[in-house]
Structure 1
Amino acid sequence: MRLTIYGRSTVLKALLITLAIDIAALLIPNEIIKLVLLFLSVVFISFTLYFFRDPKREIPKDLKPGDILSPADGRVMMIEEIEENEFIKGPAKVIGIFLSPLNVHVNRVPVSGTVKFYQYIKGEFIAAYDHASADKNERTVIGIEGEKFKVLFKQITGFVARRIVCELRVGSKVKIGEKFGMIKFGSRTDVIMPLNANIKVSVNQKVTGGITVLAEVPV
């Protein structure tokens, strides 16, 4: 199983914690407590390794110029029309994706282009499935300008997720499907696109980062 580079420090810390628990367990004479601690250490390190997995993904070869890929694995929790005033600056559509702690959390670029907008916003840690989290929680907001249209997307922390990793900055040249970061331990990702985008997914549908086409913008 391949692990993401974004989780190496966390995995190392988890291994050290697991080792400490195992050593402590071996020093405890009570067999029941010893077995419980050893079992918990196995569960802890197994979950950590599973969470930071980075499965190989093949970007679809038949993508159209106006396709927008899902930046994350998860479940579509909402599709709405909004007024976007930061980057697209006008009526737009938004697709919200909820990532449970069991989903792959590596994030991928939804469209090719140049990063023209980047903002990190400190905030709260409301549960990611709550719609209020999109505007209140800690998040990064990234705007990419392609040849024909703009897309804005957000990495949003949740109640469990407390750390965002994002390698993108203004001026970065990106290609659709490239890995650019992750949100650690449960989160939400919103993708905001032009109003004329044709939505290809539905609410409650499971999506796969770098593979599922969320929408197509006529170009």
Structure 2
Amino acid sequence: MRVPRRLLFLGSVVAGAALYVRGVYRYRDPVRLPAPQPGAVLSPADGRVLLVRRITDGQVKGYGAVTDLLGWPQAPAAGWLLGLYVGPLDVQYLYQPVGGEVVRAEFADGLALQGGTGAGSLGLGARLGLLLGQPAELPALGRPRLTFTLRAPAGVEKGTEVTVALPDQGGDAETLNFLRPGDPARVGNKAAYAEGGGLVLVALPEGTTPQVSVGDHVTGAETVLARLS
């Protein structure tokens, strides 16, 4: 039985589009030059907001101790935790949300980055809903595979730090860290590469005012997530 030429052509187009998305589009690196905005915390990633929740006494309601979520013993005891979902079609790079100094940038000790399904994974239905602009429930969160902390520059309250963490989500996706402790932090510069996207957590200190809500779409190095004191 001969396959109609139209079906062959359509199949070729679909296959070509899939190869382009997987091999080219997901690796795109757009140029982003954020305008100076004193006190602004920019989004570290493209994606959709899944979580905006208070940190009280070192705990995040429904998710436990913020130090466990971030893998950072000096995580804020009070403030805000925001959760972003970077989809497979979003830019896969992470950006520095504030300028100042890199305080910490490391992978979790002994964390296996290959095989299995991590606790932070979203189901297929939730992922499809996010692509259509529908908010999803944040899943149970596993240990972070990468955490970096930036200390805000002079002019902002002393000791103000913003921490970004990527919970383990299993699979064999590659994660690259571009930061080193002690380096100057430059708002909008690339901080890491997270192949395949996934969840990104942002911890903000007390006195911060979130500027986004659950369901909002954010653009890395452009959207203002919050305002610092």
Q: TM-score range by the shorter chain?
A: 0.7 to 0.9
Aligned partner of residue 164 in structure 2, secondary structure: strand
Letter in 2 for 1:93: W
2:112 aligned with 1:114: no
Q: Can you list the C-alpha shifts for 1:64-102, whole angstroms capped at 9, x where unaligned?
A: 2x2111000000000111224422342121111001111
In structure 2, relative to structure 1, the CA distance for the partners of 1:163 and 1:177 (3 Å cut) is same
Q: Can you list the C-alpha shifts for 1:89-130, whole angstroms capped at 9, x where unaligned?
A: 421211110011111111100111222223312255231566
**What's the TM-score, normalizing by structure 1?**
0.74
Is this contact kept in 2: 1:133–1:158, CA < 8 A? no
2:74 aligned with 1:81: no
Q: How do 1:146-185 residues align onto structure 2 when only pairs under 5 Å count?
A: 146-147=152-153, 148=158, 149-158=160-169, 162-185=173-196
Partner of 2:27: 52
In structure 2, relative to structure 1, the CA distance for the partners of 1:167 and 1:105 (3 Å cut) is same
Matched residues, percent identical?
Answer: 24
2:151 aligned with 1:145: yes
In structure 2, relative to structure 1, the CA distance for the partners of 1:174 and 1:117 (3 Å cut) is same
Is this contact kept in 2: 1:87–1:152, CA < 8 A? no
Larger displacement relative to structure 2 (79-88 or 94-103) = 79-88
Q: Can you list the C-alpha shifts for 1:130-151, whole angstroms capped at 9, x where unaligned?
A: 64554x1552011112233111
Unaligned runs of 5+ in 2: 59-65, 68-72, 123-135
Unaligned runs of 5+ in 1: 1-29
Distance 2:54 2:188 in 1: 25
Partner of 2:212: 201
Aligned partner of residue 203 in structure 1, secondary structure: coil
2:69 aligned with 1:69: no
CA positional deviation for 1:213: 0.6
Larger displacement relative to structure 2 (40-49 or 73-82) = 40-49
Runs of 4+ in 1 over 3 A off after TM superposition: 30-41, 128-134, 156-161
**What's the TM-score, normalizing by structure 2?**
0.71
Distance 2:137 2:168 in 1: 11
